């Protein structure tokens, strides 16, 4: 009956491996679906929120431009390293700039949170935040710094 126990353990392990493969496939499928829903992938999900944050914390065009370039690297690297998904851009993994490395979802500002919601509305996907009334004209008083979780 030791053979039965070994066979049972082997079957349990095979089932566990199969569940793990299915879970990984679902994570990839739903991540792709999520990013596809945001059409221009980074733009609505990552880049525009960073640009709004920079603009509303006093950033000039240079700071906003730097944040846009470096945040693109950060978020592309996070998706590649955590999900193994290569986006249509190759991140520069040695980018050590802090520009655009803000945990923007942690911003405690009602107008900023409203701006994020506006960015995700279907009719606004792909739009530049600078052209949206809800994404400008306010100041974020309490900044979140650039202590990014993956730094």
Tens-of-pLDDT digits for all 151 residues of the chain?
778 888 888 999 999 999 999 999 998 888 777 766 654 556 778 889 999 999 999 999 999 999 888 988 888 888 888 888 877 778 888 888 888 888 888 899 999 999 999 998 888 888 899 999 999 999 999 888 776 655 5
Closest CA to 42 of 148, 131, 129, 147: 129
The whole-number pLDDT of residue 151 equals 52
Cα 5 vs. chain centroid, distance in angstroms?
Answer: 45
The whole-number pLDDT of residue 98 equals 83
The whole-number pLDDT of residue 134 equals 95
Q: Are 140 and 102 in contact (CB under 8 A)?
A: no
The whole-number pLDDT of residue 37 equals 60
Using the structure block, give the residue that is written with the tokens 């980074």: 42
Closest CA to 51 of 128, 150, 141: 128
Residues in CB range of 112: below 8 A, 6 or more apart: 52, 53, 56, 138, 140
Question: Which tokens belong to 97?
Answer: 């700039």
CB atoms under 10 Å from CB of 76, counted, come to: 23
Which contacts of 15-18 are long-range, i.e. CB under 8 A and separated by 24 or more positions?
Answer: none
């Amino acid at each position: 009956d030791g053979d039965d126990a070994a066979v049972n353990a082997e079957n349990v392990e095979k089932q566990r491996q199969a569940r793990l493969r299915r879970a990984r496939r679902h994570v990839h499928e739903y991540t792709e679906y999520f990013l596809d829903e945001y059409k221009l992938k980074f733009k609505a999900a990552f880049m525009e929120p960073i640009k709004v944050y920079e603009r509303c914390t006093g950033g000039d065009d240079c700071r906003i431009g730097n944040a846009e370039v470096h945040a693109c690297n950060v978020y592309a690297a996070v998706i590649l390293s955590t999900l193994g998904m290569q986006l249509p851009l190759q991140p520069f993994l040695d980018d050590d700039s802090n520009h655009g490395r803000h945990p923007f979802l942690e911003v405690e500002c009602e107008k900023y949170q409203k701006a994020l919601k506006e960015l995700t509305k279907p009719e606004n996907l792909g739009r530049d935040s600078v052209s949206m009334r809800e994404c400008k004209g306010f100041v974020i008083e309490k900044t979140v710094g650039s202590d990014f979780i993956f730094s």
